[in-house]
Amino acid sequence: MNFFSFMKTGPFDSSLVGGKAANLARMTDLGLPVPPWLVLRQTAWLEFVEENKLGPLLARAQPTQHYEDEVLARFLASSLPKALVEELQALVPTDNQSPASTLTPWLTHDTPLAVRSSGIDEDGVAHSFAGQFSSFLFQRGRPAVEESIKRCWASAFSARILSYRASHDLPLVGGGVAVVIQQMIDASAAGVAFSQHPLKVLEPGTALISAVYGAGEGLVSGLLDADAYVVDTKTRKIESQIANKTEFLGLDEKTGTLVHRPVAPSLSKSPVLGDDEIHQITATVMDLQKRLGNPQDMEWVLGPEGDQTRSLYVVQTRPITTVPPPSYYDPNVNGTQVNLWDNSNIIESYSGVTTPLTFSFASRAYNEVYIQFCHVMGVPETLITQNSGTFRNLLGLLRGRIYYNLPNWYALVLLLPGSSNNKSFMETMMGVKQQLKPDQEDLFAFAARPPIYSLPQKTKLTLKTLMRFWRIDSIVTGFFAEFNRGYQEARSKDYSKLSLPQLAKEYLDLEDSMLKRWKAPIINDYLCMIFFGLIKKLTEKWLSSTNPTLQNDLLCGEGGLDSTEPTKRLMAIAAKIDGGPHPYRDEFLRQSPKELKAVFRTTGLPADLQKEFEQFLDLYGFRCINELKLEELDLHDDPEFVFSSVQSYIKTKSYRDTDFSAREQKIRAQAEGVIRAELSGLRLAVFQFVLKHTRKAVKNRENLRFARTKVFGISRHIFRAMGQKLHLLDFLSDPNDIFYLTVDEIIQFIEGRAASSGIKSLTSLRRQEFEGYNNTSSLPDRLLTYGAVGASLPYIQVFLESDLLKKDLDMASLDPNKMYGTSCSPGVVEGVVRIVKNLQDAQGLDGQILVTSRTDPGWVPLFPSCSALLVERGSLLSHSAVVARELGLPTIVGISGGLMERLKTGDRVRVDATNGVIEILGSGEPQSESHS
């Protein structure tokens, strides 16, 4: 036989018989109960294509339904090779009088057959093509087999196969198609078995079986509900999820096809499989995994009901391409460490995908700053040195997203004197621990061994803290005096004129002069934490007011926030243009922000406005959306946002700073009235003392964070200049490729310590990798990885589906038209929302309710142009909360319930920022907004 291979004779090279047949051969050789089969090798397909001159048709393959239909029609109209027809005549009897072939004694004219495509590159470890190729079941007789062969060949050019190939960068015309012809089993039950549960990859030894009554086609196609059995392969424990099975697929003897039939009422809610059958199937698929060396997805059937136990048959197996290989779970290879990651706070600063340069810069900064923090807090140098790994690994980069390494943060706080006695801190940490499975609780083993501090050590720290409290004004003033000197010097430099060695020195000097002298912000942050916590406790304990925003209202109207100055400066420019009115007003509003930018670049604005905008950019040009991400363009690079904001202020008359100030002072005065009405004497004095210092600490915190933004702005300009130089030297394909290197890699390249000079190819690979991350769905706020973190990353999308962490009850589920968050600036607004994901989305903002996933200081100029602010992320001390309070803008942050998914631009909502409630009123065009 020139075209066929038989189940026990071969050859079974997958390049000739395809992945499906090769797997059948392996299972047959292993002695598994495989129904009899043979395979039509790929050479028959090649000869068919050549004899019928189908090459030009296949050469123009395209993933469309029209092309698929054309291929099928041509294949069905073409003749099989003469030699193949002769072989089929010898193998498939024409009637019950014809003798069966000695090669296929099981094959009679009436044997029900499954005719299945076996793609040459199907069922491999890299590309499974699972469910893509066609199969034709219960075929009887030679004519039916011949037509099914043609249909199998044609299925290799279906729209779904060609789309799959294109998405996996495979050639559209593959290596061909072989065809498996196998005896059908009249199944009483069928299903699939996974040797490793595909959604529990962190739990090795967990198998999954899905089962239906009748033929397995109903399960594979998703037509029928199936039982699910999760099996612990070590303990043999079975967890069953029994479906209500109302139908099954059975053979219609008259037509030879599968038809839907009702399940007997007595069986519909009964298990399809008994425990013995579950264990038999589990043992079989685990044996396959062991022998084939990969986790397996095995299709099985049970024979007809009889006097004895139903016979098990294995009809197909393939590697599970989304599950790690067994070596992943080998503790001698990958280790056993479980890592817990969380981004619920840091995402406010680093949203979405972040480049390697920004991550490495941030990681260096966090390491340095928190070592300084421990020095400030009196942690002994020996403890700091012993925990160097903790400081080094405060952050992680998972598929381009920055995460906190959560246990390391708890370990860091536990180093501080008194933290092990801090009840609320320990409860928070233990609450996270309790959400983990018992075998993952070792993550927090350090909590059982906190550092022990003597009474004299604690007393010394307390005295130091008190001294810093009394000296905080001079500490902060001294910091700003030194910082501003260095900043003004750095800001005045033209980095584009410096050489690469000079730029490297500028950056390292910046680290030494600024990032390594960050104790003042640390001390103030510590005091802010103390006073903010105290005012919260006193408000809850001493006051009976039911106003949930009272604490925040008391912090309104403090003034003096550096981060609001850029907005106020732009409002002043808007007032100058509109309040005059300025002769250029109409022309300014007529032009687009892009056109105004072009006019500004050529110094074509009226002299007074040209000077105003130049001065603004000189002072605040480092600001931008995502301003802690070095890869973002700042206002120096692209000032369109500046002109868009000023136009918006003019159109909405939102340039009267006194309006905001009056609103803030009114909110503040009302809150202070509550205090005076309920407190007196010593309590009032204590409360006012704590409130005064809370206000000061929060203001200092924002201003010191503004200094941090300036450091990032200078660094951005230094690295951009480096990118330009490396591009001119032809070491980078594009100046922006600098962001796909780390800080260390850049400095090492310049100083001669780089392991390789091939940074051009390295950045090209990384750019491609990170663009891929941009095209994948976002990751959850919290997730786990197993063993070496880098080894987990290829499978991280699978981890997301696992149920390793409990989920909090979503309040929004109680009312589908409501969402809830944290109120941080009071007020009630009813109006139309504008979904803003980037600056382009915000252009023309005109009093709508601004809805976004997160904000940073670069968003502040948008605030005067909106009537309320809804932020998916954030907290009471997040930047948006602090600035919104200062501007008196009704704001809710930390909103649960899928804010960005449930709302779309144009939807109408009622924002109760006093109580933290958003009510969806429906879609509609903008109407007059109401405020209270």
The whole-angstrom separation of Cα 150 and Cα 177 is 10
pLDDT at residue 875 in the model: 61
Share of the chain above pLDDT 70, in %: 87
Query: Do the beta carbons of residue 738 and residue 732 sit within 8 Å?
Result: yes
Share of the chain above pLDDT 90, in %: 32
pLDDT band at 878 (very low <50, low <70, confident <90, very high): low
Query: Do the beta carbons of residue 109 and residue 95 sit within 8 Å?
Result: yes
pLDDT band at 204 (very low <50, low <70, confident <90, very high): confident
The whole-angstrom separation of Cα 284 and Cα 327 is 20
What is residue 595's three-state secondary structure? helix
What's the per-residue H, E or C state across 29-62?
HCCCCCCCEEEECHHHHHHHHHHCCCHHHHHCCC
Find the mean pLDDT for residues 474-479: 88
Query: Do the beta carbons of residue 651 and residue 578 sit within 8 Å?
Result: no
Tens digit of each residue's pLDDT (9 = 90 or more) over 167-201: 666 777 766 789 999 998 888 999 989 998 876 76
Query: Do the beta carbons of residue 16 and residue 43 sit within 8 Å?
Result: yes
pLDDT band at 930 (very low <50, low <70, confident <90, very high): very low
Asked if the model's pLDDT at residue 812 lies above 60, the reply is no
- Name, in order, each residue with C-beta under 8 angstroms of 37's C-beta and a sequence gap of 6 or more: 7, 21, 24, 180, 181, 182, 183
Query: Do the beta carbons of residue 453 and residue 374 sit within 8 Å?
Result: no
Which one is predicted more confidently, 594 or 627? 594
Q: 623's torsion region: left (phi>0), alpha (psi -120 to 50) or beta?
A: beta
Residue 864, CA distances (Å) to 102, 259, 579, 846 in order: 87, 65, 17, 9
Residue 180, CA distances (Å) to 109, 444, 634, 870, 899 in order: 17, 54, 61, 59, 51
pLDDT at residue 502 in the model: 96
What is residue 229's three-state secondary structure? strand
pLDDT at residue 61 in the model: 85
- Name, in order, each residue with C-beta under 8 angstroms of 108's C-beta and a sequence gap of 6 or more: 93, 96, 100
Angle, CA of 653, 655 and 660, to the nearest 5°: 110
The whole-angstrom separation of Cα 623 and Cα 858 is 6
- Among 151, 229, 220, 155, which residue's Cα sits nearest to residue 187? 220
The whole-angstrom separation of Cα 193 and Cα 318 is 11
The whole-angstrom separation of Cα 620 and Cα 615 is 8
What is residue 377's three-state secondary structure? coil
Residue 616 DSSP one-character state: H
The whole-angstrom separation of Cα 41 and Cα 48 is 12
- Among 263, 257, 194, 262, which residue's Cα sits nearest to residue 229? 194
User: How many other CB atoms are found less than 10 A from the CB of residue 23?
Assistant: 28
pLDDT at residue 292 in the model: 85
Query: Do the beta carbons of residue 275 and residue 305 sit within 8 Å?
Result: no
Tens digit of each residue's pLDDT (9 = 90 or more) over 401-441: 999 998 898 888 888 877 766 656 555 655 566 566 666 66
Find the mean pLDDT for residues 29-35: 90
Angle, CA of 838, 844 and 847, to the nearest 5°: 100
Which one is predicted more confidently, 512 or 798? 512
Residue 292, CA distances (Å) to 118, 319, 326, 442 in order: 19, 9, 11, 33
Which one is predicted more confidently, 395 or 98? 395
pLDDT at residue 21 in the model: 87
Find the mean pLDDT for residues 224-237: 89
Asked if the model's pLDDT at residue 907 lies above 60, the reply is yes
* Complete DSSP assignment for 513-573: IIIT--HHHHHHHHHHHHHHHHHHHHHHHH-----TTHHHHTTTT----GGGHHHHHHHHH
Find the mean pLDDT for residues 906-926: 82
Q: What is the pTM of this model?
A: 0.69
Tens digit of each residue's pLDDT (9 = 90 or more) over 33-84: 999 999 999 899 999 999 999 989 988 888 888 998 999 999 999 999 999 9
End-to-end Cα distance, the chain = 88
**Helical axes 565-579 vs 607-620, angle rounded to 10°:** 170
Cα within 13 Å of Cα(125), Cβ side: 7
Find the mean pLDDT for residues 310-317: 89
Residue 795, both tokens = 């499978």
pLDDT band at 323 (very low <50, low <70, confident <90, very high): confident
pLDDT at residue 720 in the model: 96
What is the rounded average pLDDT for all residues in the chain?
Answer: 83
- Positive or negative, the CA dihedral 711, 714, 717, 718 is negative
pLDDT at residue 888 in the model: 73
Tens digit of each residue's pLDDT (9 = 90 or more) over 826-859: 788 899 999 988 767 888 888 899 998 877 666 7
pLDDT at residue 880 in the model: 65
pLDDT at residue 927 in the model: 38
- Among 94, 126, 123, which residue's Cα sits nearest to residue 107? 94
pLDDT band at 803 (very low <50, low <70, confident <90, very high): very low
**Helical axes 356-376 vs 743-751, angle rounded to 10°:** 100
Which one is predicted more confidently, 371 or 623? 371
Query: Do the beta carbons of residue 817 and residue 920 sit within 8 Å?
Result: yes
Distance of CA 359 to the CA centre of its chain: 16
Asked if the model's pLDDT at residue 755 lies above 70, the reply is yes
Asked if the model's pLDDT at residue 761 lies above 90, the reply is yes
Residue at token pair 């739990």: 203
Residue 820 DSSP one-character state: E
Tens digit of each residue's pLDDT (9 = 90 or more) over 688-710: 999 998 888 888 888 888 888 88
Residue 387, both tokens = 């925990």
- Among 385, 189, 353, which residue's Cα sits nearest to residue 271? 189
